Chain A
Amino acid sequence: MNTIFPLAILTLKEGLRHRMLHGIAILALLMTGASTLIPSLFMYDLGKVAIDIGLSTITMSGMLIIFFLAINIIGKDLDKKTIYMVLATSTSRAQYILGKFLGVCLLLLASFLFLSCLLFVTVCVLNATLPHNVIANFSWTTLLYAQLFLFLELVLIASVVFFFMSFCSSFYIALILSGSIYLIGTGIESVQLALAAKEIKTSAGLSALMQWIKWIFPNLSAFDLKTLAAYGLPVHHETLALTFAYWFFYTTLLLLCTIFFFNRRELS
């Protein structure tokens, strides 16, 4: 722990100093501004639109941080060989991975907290300025749940990126692979539901393959509670608890695999 935390703090500081983060922050601020203006284009579900845009801003900023900033930070360590300096001390490869991962998570947390505060302000402004029936059934608790699970999703995606970074020779390949996993992860549940409802006609072989795929790829739709938050729909606590457990085991397993591969990687 004595090695992991300083490494995490260093990664956080490095990330906060990075110019890319400033760009992401400006984009996020613009989108937050849009989330207060765009709802006025609608007639009824104005609150829903504001929450949609606000939560999507958090997701998008998190994705940009993971896919560009985090990959850049770790890739730079490998490219510029600065990783040797760290590993030359008493830091093990596992500690290096965990420290970096924790640092990226802290970076995500910082961005998440900043944007969540902005979203809260937006919702408060809308609640104060618009008639009460505009945000019908709105629930702060559901919004908090949605934000929390969104953060968990970002951490899971970060673990996917770390997994690919552990063995890919180029961080562009890791970026492409992680991006593909993200796309599959967000769509896999919809495809399964469509297959179950026979909306998509496919061969039996492909259906069977889908059954296998779902065990490998993360089901990111499970963490998407935007619709629940936007409409104040009832939350099933049991499902949320199971989703949390799923997140915990999947992320931990992936981190273990990351450490396993990274320990065997030849750092030349």
Chain B
Amino acid sequence: MIRRVGFFTLFFLLATSHVLTFMRMENARVHDALAGRLQQIKPVMPPALARLTAGEFKGVMADFMTIEAASAIGRYLMQPGVRMRDLPPQAWDVIYEILETSQMLDPYFSDNYRLVQPFFAWEAQRPQQAIFFLKKGLEARTWDWELAFFIGFDYFYFLDDKVQASHYLQEAYSRPGGTGSITLATLSAKLLQKAGKTEIAMAYLIGLLRQENSEMQRKAIELRLRDLQGVLIVERAVVVYTQRFGVPPENVELLVKTGILAAVPENSYNKMPYCIDKHGAVFFDNPECRNSTPSKISR
């Protein structure tokens, strides 16, 4: 009886000590990590070496690296009261390195790209790094239109590079899954127009029109083509006006008054009036272009 009581007492004491020690150790480790010691979860070898040594367990290793990155974001980067974009760059570097290793081991793994897009493009404000990462995925996941869309979005929204954005939206549209979404194509054409490449945008849409069989898709393309045809007429007239008077016209009516245009072409985009900004850029979707900062995007 005494031996049994002694055994259970000892067991109880050891179990309690274990729980207390474990809790303290865990707290201490989290504290260390929060104090900037994220380095402890940094991969021990460079991504290329990890690929060479992982052998046939590359897939499983990639899975666990991704879990490591996701849990590190949750544990160390999502701190109450601290904005993620204010975190030290070293913290993001470590997470990126883990994800890069995972990508090197399995470039097809979709979860990595779904982590990089929101966290690196948005939270860490590192769109270029996100684009670089996503482009590698684009090469591997040839069936995935969303990665091209993410890259296009990042180019447009974060880097204000409309030509590259348009290029990747076209890429997204050309991929399985993206082909069904004509918005990608019309948006791409719109971005090209905004980048001052209306003729290229029209050529792209005409090319699509030749291949497209769906009546609904054809209608959407034709509608955008009509938008751009009107813009092109106005844009050419603006060039003539600027050459003649040295400054771009303030409004589209001036083009008619000066005889450069016989009549203002009808804007098929919601029947809005065309707008010419201070630099001579023609807008078919923003009648207040002279007073407002350019809107990000619509349709």
| Residues in chain A within 8 A of chain B (CB atoms) | 38, 41-45, 48-49, 52-53, 55-56, 59, 137, 153, 182-183, 186-187, 190-191, 194, 199-200, 220-221, 224, 226-227, 230-231, 233
Contacts and interface: CB of A to CB of B under 8 A. Distances in A.
A152 to B, nearest CB: 13
A200 B60 CA distance: 24
Contact of A227 (B66, B108, B110): B108
Interface residues of B, number: 21
Given A43-B111, A45-B111, A48-B110, 9 more contacts: A42-B67, A45-B110, A52-B63, A56-B57, A137-B143, A187-B55, A194-B52, A226-B59, A230-B108
A55 B70 CA distance: 24
Contacts of A56: 56-57, 59-60
Contacts of B60: 52-53, 56
Interface in B63-85: 63, 66-67, 70
A190 B52 contact: yes
Nearest to B141: A231
B51 interface: yes
B106 interface: yes
**Cβ-closest 4 pairs across A and B:** A186-B55, A52-B59, A224-B56, A44-B110
Interface of B: 48, 51-53, 55-60, 63, 66-67, 70, 106, 108-111, 114, 143
A199 B59 contact: no
A49 B63 CA distance: 7
Contacts of A52: 59-60, 63
Contacts of A220: 55-56
B276 to A, nearest CB: 45
Contacts of A230: 59, 108
Contacts of A226: 56, 58-59
Given A44-B111, A183-B55, A53 B63 contact: yes
B56 A199 contact: no
Contacts of A55: 59
Contacts of B59: 48, 52, 55-56, 226-227, 230
A42 B106 contact: no
B48 A59 contact: no
A231 B108 contact: yes
B109 A199 contact: no
Contact of B48 (A44, A183, A194): A194
Contacts of A221: 56
A186 B56 CA distance: 6
A183 to B, nearest CB: 7
Nearest to A42: B111
A59 B109 CA distance: 21
